[in-house]
Amino acid sequence: MKKIQEYSVVPSLPGKLAGLRVIASNLYWSWDPDSIELFRRMDPQLWESTRHNPVMMLQTIDQQVLEELADDDGFISLLEQVSETLDKYVNDKKTWFSREYPEAVDKFKVAYFSAEFGITECLPVYSGGLGILAGDHVKSASDLGVPLVGVGLMYQHGYFRQYLNIDGYQQEAYYDNDPFKMPLHLQRNPDNGTRKITVDFPGRKVVARIWHAKVGRVNLYLLDTNLPENRPNDRAITYQLYGGDKEMRIQQEIMIGVGGVQTLAAMEIEPCAIHMNEGHAAFSGIGRILRLVEEQGLAFEEALTVVRSSGIFTTHTPVPAGIDIFEPVLVDRYFSHLYNRLGIDRKQFLALGRRDPDNDLEPFNMSFLAMRLSAHYNGVSRLHGAVSRSMWRANWPEVPVDDIPITHVTNGIHIASWISREAGELYDRYLGHRWREDPTAREAWERIDSLPDEALWRTHELRRERLVSFARQRLKNQLIERGATSQDIEQSDRALDPNALTIGFARRFATYKRATLLLRDVDRLKKMLTDEQRPVQFLFAGKAHPRDEEGKALIRQLIHFARDHQMRRRVVFLENYDMIVSRYMVQGVDVWLNTPRRPMEASGTSGMKVVPNGGLNLSVLDGWWVEGYEIEPNTGWAIGRGEEYDDLALQDQVEANALYNQLENDVIPLFYDRGSDGLPRRWI
Ligand SMILES: *Cc1c(COP(=O)(O)O)cnc(C)c1O
């Protein structure tokens, strides 16, 4: 078991720098380029080695450096400017929400429950798309002034850090999260003791402390059971994101749901609506019913009605295999002590998670539970909405499939978190600042055509160059760590070409995402890659699930392909895909490639991130791209026309072929169609 708290001597902050602590304590800095510049300037190396963690920086920076900064007028003036911006942001009462819903300000509050939150890299309590989406929701809510509060877990081990062995086989290691060195505040009681919540587990109570992350105007609360009063097994509940077995999973979900409801109560927050981000959060409804029954004396059915009318459920999964399911014995173990207190019997409880309440063999399904405990259900794109209606048809046997009340809310991104500083400044110059505060305002974007081609292209090329130098540096470090030959290591400086057409592919290495579709016809690919007149290069990144051997084999296959000495300049795999790698990639690539097996990509958001950075999408018509391509076909290419296949081998062959054709006939020629000024006008 890991340490609980550590004391160390921290540098003392000169008075003139006191504002740094305030800036570091609100994650608003993570999407404000000036704040980032401020921290980077303090100590560029420390900024990188702490993985962009200003709290850890302030705890470890050299005292001498602080003294020098206090005397640096340029730094102090930037510090003052950033402090002022933050102050204005946090206290601004004129938000989108207050304009649209003046009557609801101070009355309305929505709680957002999620197993992951991807806010920024130094708070690694996320694994992938679902968490990044939750993070972007929280940040967007802050910008828009939506009164939202986030609830989740503070894991000691977030998702794993990926590195590859010399053979290209994925290895996993873990960062050890020390919340005392992270941008988190421990919640305390008025007597300064740690504020704690307790959750009734069978035969014992599990205690958790509450970490508070300020995300602009939004509060995010993360529970942590690593406390000495808990038994070792209970301390381990928040040990690892998606770690352990089914039993660990049910314990974590009880903590998120029931513990999350206790947390809101402890913080005296009474939400009007509860959003469950995927079924992991569905026990929140049970926690709410329990409170209504025990504290307000409601009957179970009454409490259920109240809870349901204020519940919202987002499903993210397009396949039944992806749903959280628990065996009835496990549910008994963790809930039988509550059946009585809820005022129902075992059968009634289990029925909440079953399609057929009379089937004693049916396992307990967290998505069914979430739907029983909410009034609104949505998928994450238009296509996924339709897929979900058909997938959950059995839940509404009397209703025609098109009338099943599952709608969709297409995922989105928090633009400020993903746009490059350079592109953002370009928009500021030509469009004004409005797009930052209200990205949905059409007026803000109306002047987009006034952007000179030249300025847009130069900005984009600059970011491509930055991506290439980042990739070279990363590649070099990877090769050193893998124990590559010194010759190979030296060659990393010559990998990639800052002027070549750069295509990015970064996502989980799940087989349905078909990362190696491109390798189906190696000769055809090699021909493209060795064209010195019109060079093309590919950057890959992504993790395979630790237990997914097939996914790991795909990574290995790519690495082996990229080993060929002709290919290594043109194909680079960046290890440890995370928000840092993601930002460099989406800001610098020309084309974002996505080849999922439709309709497996529920939405996807990575392709959206290239759009404000001037990148184009080349993607199968799946997830969000069905809508994106329909609305604005000029922002990229569709691979195929949205066909679905039963013969998967045939599908791979047809779609690989379509992809090669498109690259050879459309993408590459368009990119290299240059005017006398060197600009690819049609591309721009
Ligand atoms: C945006 C993002 C995702 C989500 O990407 P999709 O593959 O489109 O679902 C996952 N991980 C990271 C690090 C991201 O930045």
Residues 132-157: what's their mean pLDDT?
97
Show the DSSP H helices in 446-500 as ranges: 453-482, 486-491
Instruction: Name the helix (H) or strand (E) containing 584.
Output: helix 579-588
Residue 107 has pLDDT above 80, yes or no: yes
Closest CA to ligand 1's atom 5: 606
3-state secondary structure 117-180: ECCCCCCCECCCHHHHHHHHHHHHHHHHCCCEEEEEECCCECCCEEEECCCCCEEEECCCCCHH
Q: Residue 8: what pLDDT? A: 61
Q: For a pLDDT cut of 70, what percent of the chain falls above it?
A: 99
d(CA 39, CA 20): 9
Domains (range + CATH), the chain: 15-91 (no CATH), 104-408 (3.40.50.2000), 453-671 (3.40.50.2000)
Residues 110-120: what's their mean pLDDT?
98
Specify the ligand 1 atom closest to the Cα of 601: 9
Q: How far is the CA of 118 from the centre of ligand 1 (A)?
A: 10
Quote the Cα angle for 467-168-165, to 5°.
100
CA-based nearest residue to 382, from 643, 137, 627, 619: 627
Q: Residue 425: what pLDDT? A: 96
DSSP codes of every residue in 639-663: ESSS---S-HHHHHHHHHHHHHHHI
Rg of the chain taking only CA atoms, in angstroms:
26
Q: Residue 444: what pLDDT? A: 86
Counting Cβ atoms within 10 Å, is residue 71 exposed (0-12), middle (13-18) or buried (19+)? exposed
Q: Residue 217: what pLDDT? A: 97
- Write out residues with Cβ below 6 Å of ligand 1: 128-129, 132, 507, 577-579, 582, 604-606, 609
Q: Residue 3: what pLDDT? A: 56
642 torsion bin: left (phi>0), alpha (psi -120 to 50), beta (else):
left
Quote the Cα angle for 594-599-603, to 5°.
60
CA-based nearest residue to 133, from 631, 616, 605: 605
Residues 144-153: what's their mean pLDDT?
97
Residues 407-426: what's their mean pLDDT?
97
Residue 437 has pLDDT above 90, yes or no: no
Q: How far is the CA of 32 from the centre of ligand 1 (A)?
A: 21
Number of other residues whose CB lies within 10 A of the CB of residue 517: 21
Biggest alpha carbon–alpha carbon distance for the chain = 80
Q: Residue 6: what pLDDT? A: 55
pLDDT in tens, 229-273: 999 999 999 999 998 999 999 999 999 999 999 999 999 999 999
Closest CA to ligand 1's atom 1: 606
Whole-number average pLDDT of the chain: 95
d(CA 559, CA 574): 10
Q: Residue 7: what pLDDT? A: 57
Q: How far is the CA of 605 from the centre of ligand 1 (A)?
A: 6
This prediction's pTM = 0.96
Q: How far is the CA of 578 from the centre of ligand 1 (A)?
A: 8
pLDDT in tens, 575-584: 999 999 999 9
Bridge-based pairing of strands 204-215 and 218-224 is antiparallel
Specify the ligand 1 atom closest to the Cα of 586: 15
Residues 553-557: what's their mean pLDDT?
96
Residues 106-119: what's their mean pLDDT?
96
Q: Residue 157: what pLDDT? A: 94
pLDDT in tens, 332-365: 999 999 999 999 999 999 999 999 999 999 999 9
Q: Which of 507, 514, 545, 611 to mutate to test the pocket of ligand 1 (most atoms within 8 A of CB)?
A: 507
Evaluate whether 526 touches 566 at the Cβ level (below 8 Å): yes
Residue 501 has pLDDT above 90, yes or no: yes
d(CA 86, CA 30): 12
d(CA 360, CA 149): 38
Residue 190 has pLDDT above 70, yes or no: yes
Q: Residue 680: what pLDDT? A: 98
643 torsion bin: left (phi>0), alpha (psi -120 to 50), beta (else):
beta
Q: Residue 9: what pLDDT? A: 67
Q: Which of 132, 585, 594, 622 to mutate to test the pocket of ligand 1 (most atoms within 8 A of CB)?
A: 132
59 torsion bin: left (phi>0), alpha (psi -120 to 50), beta (else):
alpha
pLDDT in tens, 318-333: 888 889 999 999 999 9
pLDDT band at residue 4 under the 50/70/90 scheme:
low
